[in-house]
Amino acid sequence: MSKLIVSPNPHIHSKDSTQSLMRDVVIALIPAVICSVLFYGWKELLVLGVSVASCVLLEYAITRYMLKRASTVGDLSAVVTGILLALNLPYTTPWWVVFIGAVVAIGVAKLTFGGIGQNIWNPALVGRVFLLVSFPTYMTTWAKPQGLFGIDAISGATPLGAVQEGLLQGSSIQEIMAEGGYDYGQMLLANLGGSAGEVCALALLAGFIYLCVRRVIKPWITLSIFATVALVSLIFWGVNPARFTDPAFNLLTGGLILGACFMATDYVTSPMSVWGGVIFGVGIGFLTMMIRYFGSYPEGVSFAILIMNSFVPLINMAFKQKKYGRK
């Protein structure tokens, strides 16, 4: 008879692993990736390829040769960061800018803090914000997709950029909207210029629903961001529609859906408890709207998430689950 294993309970384990959870996130991002490639063509494929390859290679090289420990490439978290970074950039970003973004995301934001599970800020967002500050030209010349394989892309401002520009020139919101010709129905399916990942709101929402159904994430963070953005913009727009944009516009633009579904829900950089998540989401929604309405940057999702990331340890301490039989 073979030897019997003796170890403490439990003797069975759930099928979840870090790798399987990350694989689910990758699967959830596939609709958005397909849409972005359909709309922007091979240039977007290049951005995605460079981003994912750089993130994975950097993770491997840094863990193995600089930190001298087992590589964590297998957990697929670097692949997720790579895809998210690419979807947060315009498809026109040069490959070397993408690479710098990957160095900041993986090398600085993730591995400097000790690798997966240790970082305070979402790596892909740190990469994106670094590029936004360092290479504003590449990052703000968003391009309108023209046709399925957008060869003849026209440079233009994002809807939020156009709003800020218009307000500075003294136009009212109604005039800016009329000039831009924004059609919310179209924005849901195929958005105008912006980050590659924002092309199709429905594709992002499909991925979000998949993650919720698979119980990879809980919906509360995302829903509280949406609700807060809708509520705050409803109040401001209701008071002064000539100065402030309406709720639907704010929900559909500026990478809000991408950020709320995939960046704010990152395990490592979000609170653990349900109520902590709600507070976190309300904070992101509120900060986003304040930056959009009153800040110098036209869009605020990235900054709002990074700012709220910083508060996660405090939120985790303040919002604990109720313990059984204790007050």
Q: Tell me if 245 sits within 8 A of 233, measured CB to CB.
A: yes
Q: How far is the CB of 10 from another protein (least distance, A)?
A: 3
Q: Which is nearer to another protein, 170 or 325 (CB)?
A: 325
Q: Which is nearer to another protein, 112 or 186 (CB)?
A: 112
Q: Which is nearer to another protein, 18 or 172 (CB)?
A: 18
Tokens 């709720």 sit on residue: 247
Q: How far is the CB of 152 from another protein (least distance, A)?
A: 43
Q: Tell me if 259 sits within 8 A of 128, measured CB to CB.
A: no
Q: What's the token pair of residue 148?
A: 């399925």
Q: How far is the CB of 76 from another protein (least distance, A)?
A: 11
Q: Which is nearer to another protein, 273 or 302 (CB)?
A: 273
Q: Which is nearer to another protein, 116 or 124 (CB)?
A: 116
Q: How far is the CB of 5 from another protein (least distance, A)?
A: 5
Bond from prior residue into 10 cis (ω within 30 degrees of 0): yes
CA distance linking residue 253 with residue 199, whole number of Å: 10
CA distance linking residue 229 with residue 201, whole number of Å: 16
Q: Tell me if 250 sits within 8 A of 256, measured CB to CB.
A: yes
Q: Tell me if 305 sits within 8 A of 125, measured CB to CB.
A: yes
CA distances from 101 to 35, 75, 83, 282 (A): 22, 21, 12, 28
Q: Which is nearer to another protein, 6 or 168 (CB)?
A: 6
Q: Which residues bind another protein (CB under 8 A)?
A: 1-2, 4-14, 16-18, 20-21, 72, 75, 77, 115-118, 267-268, 272-273, 320-326
Q: Which is nearer to another protein, 107 or 254 (CB)?
A: 107
CA distance linking residue 182 with residue 159, whole number of Å: 8
CA distance linking residue 256 with residue 198, whole number of Å: 8
Q: How far is the CB of 94 from another protein (least distance, A)?
A: 32
Q: Which is nearer to another protein, 240 or 321 (CB)?
A: 321
Q: How far is the CB of 48 from another protein (least distance, A)?
A: 24
Q: How far is the CB of 57 from another protein (least distance, A)?
A: 20
Q: In DSSP terms, which residues pair with 143 in a beta bridge?
A: 155
Q: Which amino acid is at 1?
A: M
Q: What's the token pair of residue 272?
A: 């653990």
Q: Which amino acid is at 25?
A: V
Q: How far is the CB of 109 from another protein (least distance, A)?
A: 15
SS3 content of the chain, % helix, strand, coil (to 5): 65, 0, 35
In this structure, what is the dihedral angle of CA atoms 303, 307, 309, 310, given to the nearest 10 degrees?
150
